[in-house]
Copies of this chain bind each other. A is one copy, B any other.
C-alpha cells in the first residue's frame, strides 16, 4: 500500500518511520521479544507444574496485596472461572491467602504467603535479569522510547490500569 511517508499530512516532517515495512518490523519485534520476555519464568514454572497464568496472578497479587478477585479479573482480562482455577491451586498449595473483606464480607482479599513471595521473587528475578540486560544494552533513552511506544499501544482501559497501580485496597 503506502510505501513511503507522505510529507503533507500534519507537518513537513519525515514520516518514514511509519512505512508498512517499518511497522512490520515492529510487529515481528514484538513477537520475538515477547518470546524472550516469557522464556525464563516459563522454564522455572515448568519445573513446578505451574503455568504462565499462575505467574500473572502471583505478579499482580504481589504488586497490589489485598486486591480483590474482581480487581484481579479486570487486570488480567480473563473470566472468573479461568482465574478461579488458577487461584484455587495457589491457595491449596499455600502460596496465596484469601481473606474475607472486613468492610464488605462478600469480597476476598488476596495476599501472597511467605512461600508465595519466595516464588514471586524467583520468577521476577529471572524476568528482571533479562530486562536489566536489555535495558543496559539499549541505554536510558531507548528505554524511555520503549515505554512510550508500549503505552501508546495499550487499550485505553489497560493504559489507565497500567498508569494508576497505586491503589491499595484492603
Contact B132–A36 (Cβ < 8 Å): no
Q: How far is the CB of A25 from chain B (nearest CB, A)?
A: 7
CB-CB under 8 A for A23 and B144, given A32-B154, A34-B34: no
Partner of A153, one of B22, B124, B131: B131
Q: Tell me the residues in window 14-42 of chain A with beta carbons closer than 8 Å to chain B beta carbons.
A: 14-18, 20, 22-37, 39
Contact A135–B18 (Cβ < 8 Å): yes
Say if the beta carbon of A12 comes within 8 Å of chain B: no
Chain A contact residues: over half helix, strand or loop, or mixed? helix
Mark A121-156 against chain B: 1 for CB-CB distance below 8 A, else 0.
000100110111111111111111111111111110
Q: Specify which chain B residues have a CB less than 8 angstroms from the CB of A143 in the assembled complex.
A: 17, 22, 26, 145, 149
Partner of A147, one of B6, B25, B124: B25
Mark A155-168 against chain B: 1 for CB-CB distance below 8 A, else 0.
10011011001000
